[in-house]
């Protein structure tokens, strides 16, 4: 990645470098990750997270505990998740989401409905997804993304192209 991308990624821990193994992250990133639980350390097993992270994760439902099975989430988390649709309940099957969540998800496309098959998304969601690249269409296969999205993804490394296999990333993203 370009140095500018790594700089943004490391200073703000903006949605992705947590996909790298902890040993290859800058200490500043690991610190941000653990203190604020900003978008990813929930990918680690709960046993290896700092207690402070688990607390933040459960009290604020900030970006991820929805990856855990609903039965093991605190009720307060499920409530926050469903009332605000903050970053994740789209990982749950649509049938088990509150209608209010599905409404928010589709009207605002806030961080997740891209996990649903493009065919079941509202056109307005797909438009927002492609024009603004808001947190997720990188989960779709590159062939089904608009070129403008791929361009934004590669130039800004905004929230996800690290989920793609290196072989399908633009050379500019793989650089360095």
The pLDDT score that the predictor gives to residue 171 is 44
**8-state DSSP, 20:** S
Q: Is the pTM of this model over 0.95?
A: no
CA atoms of 149 and 118, how far apart (whole Å): 15
Spans of all domains in the chain: 3-174
Q: Which residues contact 138 (CB under 8 A, 6 or more apart)?
A: 145, 153, 159, 160, 161, 163, 164
The pLDDT score that the predictor gives to residue 73 is 45
**pLDDT interval class at 113 (50, 70, 90):** very low
Task: Evaluate whether 129 touches 123 at the Cβ level (below 8 Å).
Answer: no
The mean pLDDT value for 120-142 works out to 40
Mean pLDDT of the chain: 40
The pLDDT score that the predictor gives to residue 27 is 52
pLDDT in tens, 44-53: 334 444 444 4
Give the Å distances, CA to CA, from 160 to 50, 79, 111, 148, 166: 24, 27, 11, 15, 12
CA atoms of 32 and 35, how far apart (whole Å): 5
Residue 96 has, within 13 A of its CA and on its CB side, a CA count of 11
Q: Could you identify the residue written with the tokens 């994740």?
A: 88
């Amino acid at each position: 990645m370009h140095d500018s991308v790594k700089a943004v990624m490391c200073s703000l821990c903006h949605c992705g470098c947590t996909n790298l193994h902890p040993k290859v992250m800058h200490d500043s990133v690991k610190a941000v990750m653990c203190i604020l639980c900003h978008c990813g350390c929930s990918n680690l097993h709960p046993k290896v997270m700092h207690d402070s992270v688990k607390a933040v994760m459960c009290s604020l439902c900030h970006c991820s505990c929805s990856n855990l099975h609903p039965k093991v989430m605190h009720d307060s988390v499920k409530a926050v998740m469903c009332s605000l649709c903050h970053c994740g309940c789209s990982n749950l099957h649509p049938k088990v989401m509150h209608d209010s969540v599905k409404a928010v998800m589709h009207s605002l496309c806030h961080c997740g409905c891209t996990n649903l098959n493009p065919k079941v998304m509202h056109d307005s969601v797909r438009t927002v997804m492609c024009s603004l690249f808001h947190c997720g269409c990188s989960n779709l296969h590159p062939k089904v993304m608009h070129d403008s999205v791929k361009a934004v993804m590669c130039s800004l490394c905004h929230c996800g192209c690290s989920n793609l296999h290196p072989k399908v990333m633009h050379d500019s993203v793989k650089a360095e």
